[in-house]
Amino acid sequence: MTERTSLTVVLAAGEGTRMRSSLAKVLHPVAGESMLTHVLAAAPKGARQKLAVVIGPDRDDVAREARRLRPDAAICVQQERLGTAHAVLTAKDEIARGCDDLLVVFGDTPLISARTLEKLRGPLSQESAVVVLGFRADDPTGYGRLLTEGDRLIAIREHADASEKERATTLCNGGVMAIAGRVAMELLARIGNANAKAEYYLTDAVEIANKCGLKASVIETTEDEVRGINTKAQLAEAEAVMQRRLREAAMEAGVTLIAPETVFLSADTKFGKDVVIEPFVVFGPGVEVDDGAVVHSFTHAVQSRIGKKAEVGPYARMRPGTVLGEGAKLGNFVETKKATIDAGAKVNHLSYIGDAHVGAKANIGAGAITCNYDGFDKYRTEIGQGAFVGTNSSLVAPVKIGAGSYIGSGAVVTKDVPDDALRIERAEQTTKDGWAKRFREMKMRAKAATKSESK
């Protein structure tokens, strides 16, 4: 059997006034991704699975976000908000091109899953012409009620238009609808606006289908999955549901979360095997944690990679572009940004490492800072492998610290330091001499060690 074709129409023209925000409603994030992105991620994809997004006028930002995930999306502008059926019909050119299954989903229900949308399409390949996603509401006020007879859905009655008896029904419309492509245009075109709100209701498609002798049916899901977001409080509820799902999935995949309810993930957080995450850790978008890594409490990371068996925190802040190599360590009160820290390197306390590369096994002392910004531009710092940077050193970029070199504490380094160099500033001559002697001995030992290793 060939795969059925589909067109998913995402309704995202709502103004979202109750969010009290200048950001379009569907662009508000849940677990680090916009609500629209979550919905688009659930829509069928692949060959001959098309997508149209209905947006309000002057909403280039929403169009851009839609195209970011689905460059193939058709963007349809609904000039006036005249109801959900009217919104769907702004995509009539796309619908007229024909498909087996037409899916209508709302842009402000970010918890909908791909699996549920697949399930909804199922009965369309048998005898149903319309399939509606229903749920049992704790409090059905405001939702459309699903009026059924046996396994048939007879009508959807909007709350404002429902009788007392109809309002007693707790089976509600979740908002997602699947319509057989071959009858979709005909059903939609017949929807009028003779109702309490004088809107063109998509939900009327059900009664019209029944009048035409077509079958409509219901597939049930949980209230969580069809939660519509209209306010910041509902946004926070959706966030809570999504976080629970992400934590469960992480633990299912073998990640140890000691206190899962205190760990915040993003929809795209990736974990390897045997990862341990201590309480109170926040991962923004774009974080990858490789096998065996340990993330200690109060760490905050965004667009960063934590390498195999690396150790981070407590209290580390990894800003975008941080890449930690195998077994590398970032300790307490260390901030990094656009920094590659190679295998076995240590930045254990109170440092800022930005626009920098730290070579393998280098040791960055407490309070060492890469001074990457001169008030006008940003510059890079290059620290060679095995270098030792003493406490409270300021590395004034652009600057290179040679491999195997030794920088005494409190240095202000403004010029490149060659490989294997000893640089001590703030010490008495006698101490410096003692240091120089120890440094020579250390180097000799290191050389001998590498020789015996290569034998």
Q: Is position 81 an interface residue for ligand UD1 (rule: CB under 6 A)? A: yes
Give the Cα-Cα-Cα angle 156, 8, 91 (nearest 5 degrees): 85
Footprint on residues 108-137 left by ligand UD1 (CB under 6 A): 108
How far apart are CB 33 and Ca ion at their closest, in Å? Answer: 20
Q: Which stretch binds Ca ion (CB under 5 A): 188-196, 227-235, 361-369, 410-418?
A: 227-235
Q: Is position 398 an interface residue for Ca ion (rule: CB under 5 A)? A: no
Q: Is position 29 an interface residue for ligand UD1 (rule: CB under 6 A)? A: no
Cis before 314 (ω within 30)? yes
The amino acid at 254: G
Report DSSP state, residue 373.
B
Q: Which of 6, 37, 78, 370 binds ligand UD1 (CB under 6 A)?
A: 78
Q: Site size for ligand UD1, by CB under 6 A?
A: 27
Q: Which of 6, 169, 173, 372 binds ligand UD1 (CB under 6 A)?
A: 173
Closer residue to Ca ion (CB): 173 or 299:
173
Binding mask 153-172 for ligand UD1 (x = CB under 6 A): ---x-x-------------x
Give me the torsion for CA of 185, 186, 189, 195, rounded to 10°.
-120
Interatomic CA distance for residues 278 and 287, integer angstroms: 16
Q: Give the H or E element holding residue 271.
A: strand 270-271
Q: Site size for Ca ion, by CB under 5 A?
A: 1
Footprint on residues 210-269 left by ligand UD1 (CB under 6 A): 228
How far apart are CB 176 and ligand UD1 at their closest, in Å? Answer: 9
In sequence order, which residues have a C-beta less than 8 Å from that of residue 297 and are 6 or more positions away? 278, 279, 280, 281, 313, 314, 315
Per DSSP, the three-state class of 11 is strand
Which residue in 86, 296, 300, 349 is the catalytic one? 349
How far apart are CB 331 and ligand UD1 at their closest, in Å? Answer: 46
Looking at 23-153, list the stretches that DSSP marks H as alpha helix, in order from N- to C-terminal side.
35-42, 60-69, 84-89, 92-96, 114-121
Tokens of 430: 């006698």
Interatomic CA distance for residues 176 and 196, integer angstroms: 22
How far apart are CB 110 and ligand UD1 at their closest, in Å? Answer: 11
Q: Would you give the distance in Å from CA 413 to the centre of its chain?
A: 40
Q: Is position 292 an interface residue for Ca ion (rule: CB under 5 A)? A: no
How far apart are CB 25 and ligand UD1 at their closest, in Å? Answer: 7
Q: What does the DSSP assignment read for 319-367?
A: -TTEEE-TT-EEEETEEEEEEEE-TT-EEEES-EEEEEEE-TT-EEPTT
- Cα(first)–Cα(last) distance of the chain, in Å? 65
296 tagged catalytic: no
Residue 409 neighbours by CB distance under 10 Å: 17
Q: Which of 29, 32, 44, 107 binds ligand UD1 (CB under 6 A)?
A: 107
Q: Which of 29, 32, 83, 313 binds ligand UD1 (CB under 6 A)?
A: 83
Q: Which stretch binds ligand UD1 (CB under 6 A): 8-16, 252-260, 372-380, 405-413?
A: 8-16
Q: Which of 170, 185, 228, 442 binds Ca ion (CB under 5 A)?
A: 228
How far apart are CB 142 and Ca ion at their closest, in Å? Answer: 8
The footprint of ligand UD1 (CB under 6 A) covers 11-14, 54, 78, 81-84, 86-87, 106-108, 143-144, 156, 158, 172-175, 201-203, 228
Catalytic sites, residue numbers: 349
